[in-house]
Structure 1
Amino acid sequence: MSSLHCGVDFGTTNSTIGLVQPDGAPVLIPVEGDEVTLPSALFFSFEDQSTHFGRSAVHEYMDGAEGRFMRALKSILGTSLMDETTQIGRERTSFQGLIGRFLGHLRDRLTAHTGQMPEHVVLGRPVFFVDGDAGADRAAQDQLEAAARAVGFSHIEFQFEPVAAALHFERTLEGEALALVVDIGGGTSDFSVLRLSPERRTSTDRRDDILSTAGVHVGGTDFDRQLNIAKVMPQMGRGTETRDGKRQLPLWYFHDMATWHKINQLYRPQVVRDIRGLQREAAEPEKLERFKHLLVHRSGHRLAGQVEKAKIALTDTPETDITLDEPGLSLAIPTTRAEFEAASADLSEKIGAALDEALVAAGVTAEAIETVILTGGGAQVRQVRALVDTRFAHARIAQSDRFGAVGLGLAVDAARRFG
């Protein structure tokens, strides 16, 4: 039996596994029931010590089960948090171990589907895990590789996520095209300018066809964060002054509560004590009472989920409410698309700058791009799509599989490397 090879897209919000069939066509395998995408989330039950992944993890948490919920672990790679441990029930666990546990679950799904233990894998990676720090970026890749090796992958290669998306799309082309891949994921935005054609896709070495890659550590969860900070956290105490009017309360509590991968770090007794102390000083202590509720009832991720839901709704409607309704806390915060776009304008600017950087590095103008390949959930954000439509009004805009294109392309790459 030949060794099994695959492509694994470990994403900030969703993960997939791709395989190439005997006829050469890439497919995503089921990873949760019949679903081919797995939300990148874990839930550790304190009731029966079980571990839940994906939709099951989200369900357990949203259902109010006692335990620890974690999401967006990819965002921690290359940061100082990777050197720390976190409390899971009675044990302290490294973030490296948590990422390994999630990758191990993906490996188990693959083994169950194929009847073989996987040996070779091409892992997707953003163009930059960490902006402006080559050492931290290299450390992030090394950490991800170590986690994959620890769960049984013996031969590990990496491919840029936007390049993988292009390899999948190239299978549909009938002629040559100069293409730009716009991959807006949960945690990063990546861009690649490539030459694509039916003839080129048979080559195993595509380095000369990749004219440029660029990226920035901005993704869908950052848009969530900015909306949360602008509209929700003021209701929790952000911007509140002390009674004497001499200063505002510290901001970091509220910013961390709006950041997916930092929320769990707030669920500590010391933070609850800090907030109680700030209530005694605050001019509006009732707002901090709401924040304390999030801490005591571990509701931060539920709130973040509602903010994400509102962000998605604003794609199709000019206004919506950010709601959270549970015993002890009821919120309904009116939010408009204009407010969301104002709150996240700096993110759109960073994405636009990185996109322009990819063109400059490739030595081409926007007018030279014939096809723009959109992928990633963040590409659905209206102001992001507007950036593309404005710059490339002349080009063919191809909407690729927003959650599956990278995994499918990684499978194509794996077949070329290991087949």
Structure 2
Amino acid sequence: MFIGFDYGTANCSVAKMEHGKPELLKLEGNNVYIPSTLAAPTRESVAEYLFKFRDIKPYDAIGEQVLRRAIAFNREESIELEASDLAFGNAALDLYLEDPSDTYYVKSPKSFLGASGLRDVQVSFFEDLVCAMMDNIKRNAEAHTNQIITDTVIGRPVNFHGRDSEVANQQAESILLKAAKRAGFKNVEFQFEPVAAGLEYEATLSDNKTVLVVDIGGGTTDCSLIEMGPSWRGQADRTQSLLAHSGQRVGGNDLDIALAFKQLMAPFGLGSKTTANIVMPTIQFWNPIAINSVDAQSDFYSRANLATLNQLKKDAQEPEKLARLLDVFHETLGYRIVRQAEEAKIALSEQPQYRVMMQVLSEQLEVDIDFNDMVEAIASPKQKMAELVKEAVEQGGVTPDAIFMTGGSARSPILRGAVQKILPNIPVVSGNYFGSVTAGLARWAEVCFK
């Protein structure tokens, strides 16, 4: 059996073909989408879980080294790992929110796969993370279909990390491929996510069109200019129909982080001053919420930075604010703050004002945000997304007949307005914001494996 697999930054989903149409499969209870999250007692628990409970062995010598170290660490910490200790999706988020300080929690590991400067051990660790998540999804999909899944087409962004970084793309695709093979997939193909979304839209067309697909996902924005329609449908070689691609690691997560930074970090000391009237270093308020940056998270939660934060509190005109930042450090609250910003972003797409209620230990903070505050906060990532639309059209040299927008953040009236400003008078259409990529991947899997 074959499936299309959208290993997304925000959510994962898979689909099979049933009577000529894609059908999304249940992955978490009755839900066809599962958040891209994992929780465990420790970072080291992932490798041990795969080996001990899933009989998934390391891929190479580096992986074996990671596994040995993981088992030794857990023994030293007197952690007797149980299969139920690893949680995925909403269950992982619940576990983290219940006890942030004693839970190892990862959201959107896809964001890190193309990061530069990763050591072999770090690459192996990310491979374990992705493998554990893929294994969980594959087992749940097989339970839904009562069939063994052997083949898959996995979606990938045009660029995982920055622009035109082929080294990053190769690194990220290699991690995904190895993880998928270890999780039990026999045959694995890849397809650009915007192309996959385009294939799903193409199934609705009765005439040939030139379509600009704009896929604004959780971690990346990708644009593909594609000739599509009845003449192309079902063809195995689509090379001539793919006119242009652009992509960058800027997506829904970046909007959430930007909003969190601009609107939610003041109670933690952003913009406040020391007794010497020096503004507090901005980096200390950016790093804890930059959840898509390995370096930022490592720097903020390092032991050395704890000493820096304690000194900033001593020197602060408003030490109570820096005390809250220390709570963020000790309780690992960065993910929680960004989640609050995400909830505000979603609410402000439909209402003019929103009150954020943040719980920091026993203290509840309230921050009011209005629509204009959000527009200002996300101006920089919005501009980057708009530039990608321009780039794809200029590269293709053709004005599209239609713009197909997909991805969770494509629902934003701010982002839709930015696209329409670049290409006025071109109709903007949408399908399933969350499922178009998955459905298109299933259609492409049918071409590849049937």
TM-score normalised by structure 2 residue count: 0.85
Q: Which residue of 1 aligns with 2:335?
A: 301
- The one-letter amino acid paired with 2:98 is D
1:73 pairs with one of 92, 109, 119: 109
Q: Which residue of 2 aligns with 1:206?
A: 238
Q: Which residue of 2 aligns with 1:38?
A: 34
Question: Cα distance, 1:82 vs. partner?
Answer: 4.3
Question: Cα distance, 1:98 vs. partner?
Answer: 1.1
- The one-letter amino acid paired with 1:293 is D
Question: Cα distance, 1:214 vs. partner?
Answer: 0.8
Q: Which residue of 2 aligns with 1:62?
A: 97
Residues 332-370 of structure 1 deviation map (CA, whole Å, 9 limit, x = unaligned): 1111221221122121111111101100111113xxx22
SS at match of 1:172: coil
1:399 pairs with one of 426, 430, 445: 430
Question: Cα distance, 1:250 vs. partner?
Answer: 3.2
SS at match of 1:7: strand
Structure 1, gaps ≥5 residues long: 87-92
Residues 32-69 of structure 1 deviation map (CA, whole Å, 9 limit, x = unaligned): 11111011011114797511111111222223374222
Return the alpha-carbon distance in structure 1 between the equivalents of residues 107 and 286 of structure 2.
17
1:52 pairs with one of 87, 90, 100: 87
Instruction: Give identity over the alignment, percent.
Output: 31
Question: Cα distance, 1:199 vs. partner?
Answer: 3.1
Q: Which residue of 1 aligns with 2:8?
A: 11
- The one-letter amino acid paired with 1:135 is V
Query: Residue 3 of structure 2 contacts residue 152 of structure 2 at CA under 8 Å; is this kept in 1?
Result: yes
- The one-letter amino acid paired with 2:146 is G
Structure 2, gaps ≥5 residues long: 43-78
Residues 242-271 of structure 1 deviation map (CA, whole Å, 9 limit, x = unaligned): 3213x4433333212122245864445544
Return the alpha-carbon distance in structure 2 between the equivalents of residues 292 and 196 of structure 1.
54
Q: Which moved more, 1:332-341 or 1:23-32?
A: 332-341
- Distance verdict in 2 for CA 1:113–1:83, change over 3 Å: farther
Question: Cα distance, 1:174 vs. partner?
Answer: 1.5
Query: Residue 373 of structure 1 contacts residue 399 of structure 1 at CA under 8 Å; is this kept in 2?
Result: yes
Query: Residue 116 of structure 2 contacts residue 168 of structure 2 at CA under 8 Å; is this kept in 1?
Result: no
Q: Which moved more, 1:187-196 or 1:250-259?
A: 250-259
Q: Which residue of 2 aligns with 1:274?
A: 308
- The one-letter amino acid paired with 1:42 is L
- Distance verdict in 2 for CA 1:166–1:80, change over 3 Å: same
Query: Residue 389 of structure 2 contacts residue 419 of structure 2 at CA under 8 Å; is this kept in 1?
Result: no
Question: Cα distance, 1:326 vs. partner?
Answer: 5.0
Query: Residue 126 of structure 2 contacts residue 175 of structure 2 at CA under 8 Å; is this kept in 1?
Result: no
Return the alpha-carbon distance in structure 2 between the equivalents of residues 327 and 255 of structure 1.
21
- The one-letter amino acid paired with 1:222 is D
Q: Which residue of 1 aligns with 2:381?
A: 347
TM-score normalised by structure 1 residue count: 0.91
Return the alpha-carbon distance in structure 1 between the equivalents of residues 283 and 113 of structure 2.
21
Q: Answer yes or no: is 1:190 the counterpart of 2:222.
A: yes
Query: Residue 194 of structure 2 contacts residue 222 of structure 2 at CA under 8 Å; is this kept in 1?
Result: yes
Residues 137-163 of structure 1 deviation map (CA, whole Å, 9 limit, x = unaligned): 222222222222222222221100000
Q: Answer yes or no: is 1:328 the counterpart of 2:362.
A: yes
Q: Which residue of 1 aligns with 2:149?
A: 118
- Output aligned runs, 1:3-402, within 5 Å: 4-21=1-18, 23-45=19-41, 49=82, 50-64=85-99, 66-80=102-116, 82-83=118-119, 94-132=125-163, 133-245=165-277, 247-262=278-293, 265=298, 266-365=300-399, 369-402=400-433
Query: Residue 113 of structure 2 contacts residue 172 of structure 2 at CA under 8 Å; is this kept in 1?
Result: yes
Question: How many residues align structurally?
Answer: 406
Return the alpha-carbon distance in structure 2 between the equivalents of residues 52 and 7 of structure 1.
23
More strand by share: 1
SS at match of 2:171: helix
- The one-letter amino acid paired with 1:155 is N
Return the alpha-carbon distance in structure 2 between the equivalents of residues 83 and 407 of structure 1.
31
Q: Which residue of 2 aligns with 1:89?
A: none
Q: Which moved more, 1:28-37 or 1:284-293?
A: 284-293
Cα RMSD over matched residues? 2.2
Query: Residue 76 of structure 1 contacts residue 82 of structure 1 at CA under 8 Å; is this kept in 2?
Result: no
Query: Residue 327 of structure 2 contacts residue 361 of structure 2 at CA under 8 Å; is this kept in 1?
Result: no
Q: Which moved more, 1:206-215 or 1:381-390?
A: 381-390
